[in-house]
Copies of this chain bind each other. A is one copy, B any other.
Amino acid sequence: MTVNSNELQVKGCKVTPQRRLILDILSNAESHVLTAEEIVNQARAIQPNISASTIYRNLGTLTELGLLKRLDSMGEGWRYEINSGHHHHLVCLKCHNAVSIDFCPMSREVKELAEQSGFEVADHSFEIRGYCINCRVGDKKGEGAQDLVGDER
C-alpha cells in the first residue's frame, strides 16, 4: 500500500518532503500500524531535524484528508495506518505488528440486534490481540525481537 504524491496534490495539499516521509514510513510499515511517537522516531532516523510538531500536525491533516486512518490503541495514544478501506486487525501483543483480516463482525444480524434498542449504528471497531507466529517462537514475555525499534526502512 503506497500513497503517491498525486494523491496529496489531488487533496489540495502541498507535497512537502516531510509529508512524503510520513507517508513512506507508513507505506513501508505495510503490516504495521504505528504510533505518532514511532513515526517521529523513524522519521528522525532519516531526516534528523524534522520537527515533532510537523509530524503531529500532518498526521492530523492527512487523517482529515482521508489518506490515513487513526486507530485507538489500548491507551498508547493513536496508531496510524494508510487508509486502505474498512478492515480489522490481528495485533501482536509483543511486536505490535498489525495484520489486516477480512472478517468483519458487523453483519446485518448484529446491526439489527444493536438497533433493537433504538440505537443508531454509525461505526464499530473490532480487534483481535494475541501473539503472531514470529513472536510465538520465542519467549512471549521476553523483550527479545522487538521489530518496531530500529531503522525499519
Contact = CB atoms under 8 A, between A and B. Distances in A.
Q: How many copies does the complex hold?
A: 2
A125 B89 CA distance: 11
A114 B128 contact: yes
A121 B130 contact: yes
Interface residues on chain A, size class: 35 or more
Contact of A113 (B99, B103, B133): B103
Interface in A97-149: 99, 101, 103, 105-106, 110, 113-114, 117-133, 136
A90 B113 CA distance: 11
Nearest to A129: B123
B114 A90 contact: yes
A10 interface: no
Contact of A110 (B73, B105, B118): B105
Contacts of A121: 128-130
A132 B105 contact: no
A31 to B, nearest CB: 11
B122 A129 contact: yes
A96 to B, nearest CB: 14
Interface of A: 70, 72-75, 77-78, 90, 92-93, 99, 101, 103, 105-106, 110, 113-114, 117-133, 136
Given A103-B113, A105-B126, 19 more contacts: A72-B74, A75-B77, A93-B122, A101-B113, A103-B110, A105-B105, A105-B110, A110-B128, A117-B132, A117-B133, A119-B130, A119-B132, A120-B131, A120-B136, A121-B130, A122-B131, A123-B130, A125-B125, A125-B127
